[in-house]
Amino acid sequence: MTAAESAQARPRRGSQRLVVVSNRLPFAFRRDADGRWQAEPGGGGLVTALLPVLRHRGGMWIGWTGAADDSPELNEELAAVGGNAGYTLKSVPLNADEIRNFYEGFSNEIIWPLFHDMQLLCNFDPAYWRTYCEVNRKYAKAVHESCEPGDFVWVHDYHLMNMAAELHRLGSKSRIGFFLHIPFPPPDIFLKLPWRLTLIEALLQFNLIGFQTARDRRNFLECARALVKGVDVEGRGQVVQATVGARSVRIGHFPISIDFNAFMRQATAPEVAARAQELHRLLPRRKLILGIDRLDYTKGIPLRLQAFQNLLTRYPALRERVSLIQVVVPSREDIAQYRDLKTDIEQRVGKINGGFVDPGGWVPVWYVYRSLSRLDLLAYYRAADIALITPLKDGMNLVAKEYCACSIEEDCALILSEFAGAAAQLGRGAVLVNPCDIEGVADAIHRAYHMDAGERRARMRSMRRSIRENDVFWWVDSYLRAAITKDLSDFPQMKDAGAEGDVEYSVSF
């Protein structure tokens, strides 16, 4: 039985429908050259994981189409796509001002940088907050109109943190859960937010709040205690219960994951092997180091390039023996900081290649700026000997997990930032680095290059076991179980102790 089938085979828990709410729908809608709407499925673990549950329980996904449009043709396409997908899709249209102030503004120029500890990048424009509140109200209305008594509403991510408060204002009696896909910052950073009290009180109105790691949960509880009087917490373990006056909220950490078996299966396809071989033919006689990131300043790409340059300078024996493949997937192109970052990355790549390239054909950095097809993504994973994943801060980082799932022969190495959520789970198998330590990252690449096969295998095996046991179906199941179980003392704890605890930071002298 596949993991997806086993998720479907799990017993129905009552007759509750699942109503998923996220900023974006799981399909992006764009007009083709003839002006007709086309839906492109948004890839990613969330869609894969929720699909069987939505089909099984019956359900709905509510969100934005990604377009500033609400035409009848778009809604027809939406209904058709939803019919084929096996669940109802409902759109929340956003106009150009809302896209600017709610999506680009409050979500991505305030919460995104602040929650990733980059407060200096925040643009605390009060107009952004007003639109954020209005748009959350708009989403809440759409949910309230569509909900039936007994539905479980599962809200995703930082765009929609006011949803429970808005739904209660509308008189909703549904149970409402929230999962934050990005990190939650410690109090000295969160308290900079001018609307901190309203936001924390709004979050405390959910019935269950899920975070990626124990650290995020601890940060949230510290912020709640700093701002709100009388927050009591009961229990230990993965899910705890907080009470604030008459209200109680469950708070847990559930590290999101991938469909491990699907990645492993697809990675063995002959077309993937052929494309991976083609990469080795183009970049022959060297180890390939891979970075794949959405274009984002949280991913630490400029520092990573500096570390690679440092490696080539301090370890000249590795010149012509390694190439860095850096894939950057376009993202949030309408925000100035993202455009500036692209220019910065391209200048750095040019400088490294200009400084080290040799007439024999060795290219130090192979730079790719585009979205990847699934086939290309798998081929890069299969071709790479070392994955170099060094975000300055990241909620989880699924690239790290996907890379391990595709390392079928268990002979690859993963270099991972201590500040990625995945480090709590994979810290014992990965070579952990501080992404700001340029020489430390260069040394880690040198170490991974020379790591013997036995050590590579032992490390990769332990990471793969952990990801297989705690895959994305486990993630959905454990979240929903935490939401509905009557007695939290019956709640099964995570099998992998590494996923429970904190990162062991590397100390060098």
- Is 56 among the residues that bind ligand G6P (CB under 6 A)? no
* Total length of the chain: 509
- Is 20 among the residues that bind ligand G6P (CB under 6 A)? no
- Is 342 among the residues that bind ligand G6P (CB under 6 A)? no
If the CB atoms of residues 237 and 330 are measured against ligand G6P, the closer one turns out to be 330
Q: Tell me the DSSP string of 116-175.
A: TT-GGG----HHHHHHHHHHHHHHHHHHHHH--TTPEEEEESGGGTTHHHHHHHTT--SE
- Is 157 among the residues that bind ligand G6P (CB under 6 A)? yes
| Paired strand residues for 243 | 232, 248
User: Shortest distance, CB of residue 397 to ligand G6P, whole angstroms?
Assistant: 10
Q: Going by DSSP bridges, is the β-strand pair 431-433/322-329 parallel, antiparallel, or unpaired? A: unpaired
Near ligand G6P by CB under 6 A: residue from 144, 181, 192, 287:
181
Catalytic-role residue among 181, 344, 437, 446: 181
Which residues, 6 or more positions from 272, have their beta carbon under 8 angstroms from its beta carbon?
A: 266, 375, 378, 379, 382
Q: Is 394 in the active site?
A: yes
User: Shortest distance, CB of residue 142 to ligand G6P, whole angstroms?
Assistant: 18
User: Shortest distance, CB of residue 195 to ligand G6P, whole angstroms?
Assistant: 20
Q: Between residue 287 and residue 306, which ones bind ligand G6P under the rule CB under 6 A?
A: none
If the CB atoms of residues 254 and 356 are measured against ligand G6P, the closer one turns out to be 254
# residues contacting ligand G6P (CB under 6 A) = 6
User: Shortest distance, CB of residue 225 to ligand G6P, whole angstroms?
Assistant: 26
If the CB atoms of residues 182 and 438 are measured against ligand G6P, the closer one turns out to be 182
If the CB atoms of residues 332 and 447 are measured against ligand G6P, the closer one turns out to be 332
Q: Is 181 in the active site?
A: yes
- Give 465: exposed, middle or buried? Use CB within 10 Å, 0-12, 13-18, 19+: middle
Q: Indicate the residue type of 253.
A: H
User: Shortest distance, CB of residue 294 to ligand G6P, whole angstroms?
Assistant: 6
Near ligand G6P by CB under 6 A: residue from 331, 337, 434, 506:
331
3-state secondary structure of 207: coil
Q: Indicate the residue type of 196.
A: R
User: Shortest distance, CB of residue 211 to ligand G6P, whole angstroms?
Assistant: 13
Contact 427, 397 (CB under 8 A): no
User: Shortest distance, CB of residue 157 to ligand G6P, whole angstroms?
Assistant: 4
If the CB atoms of residues 10 and 332 are measured against ligand G6P, the closer one turns out to be 332
Q: Give me the half-sphere count of Cα atoms (radius 13 Å) on the Cβ side of residue 220.
A: 28
Closest CA to 64 of 16, 115, 113, 136: 136
Near ligand G6P by CB under 6 A: residue from 10, 24, 175, 468:
24
Instruction: Round to whole Å and give the CA distance between 348 and 7.
Output: 46
For ligand G6P, what does the binding mask look like between residues 185 and 214, x meaning CB under 6 A?
A: ------------------------------
Strand order in the sheet with 287-294: 365-369, 322-329, 287-294, 386-389, 413-417, 431-433
Contact 389, 416 (CB under 8 A): yes
Q: Between residue 253 and residue 282, which ones bind ligand G6P under the rule CB under 6 A?
A: none
- Is 182 among the residues that bind ligand G6P (CB under 6 A)? yes
- Is 332 among the residues that bind ligand G6P (CB under 6 A)? yes
Contact 212, 200 (CB under 8 A): no
Closest CA to 20 of 87, 104, 111: 87
Catalytic-role residue among 157, 259, 394, 477: 394
Centre a 10 Å sphere on the Cβ of residue 467 and count the other Cβ atoms it contains.
Answer: 29
If the CB atoms of residues 113 and 429 are measured against ligand G6P, the closer one turns out to be 113
Residue number with the smallest Cβ distance to ligand G6P: 181
- Is 100 among the residues that bind ligand G6P (CB under 6 A)? no
If the CB atoms of residues 50 and 242 are measured against ligand G6P, the closer one turns out to be 50
| Paired strand residues for 241 | 234, 250
Centre a 10 Å sphere on the Cβ of residue 188 and count the other Cβ atoms it contains.
Answer: 12
Which residues, 6 or more positions from 493, have their beta carbon under 8 angstroms from its beta carbon?
A: 237, 238, 500
User: Shortest distance, CB of residue 45 to ligand G6P, whole angstroms?
Assistant: 11
If the CB atoms of residues 220 and 449 are measured against ligand G6P, the closer one turns out to be 220
Question: Catalytic positions, please?
Answer: 181, 394
The site for ligand G6P (CB under 6 A) is made up of 24, 157, 181-182, 331-332
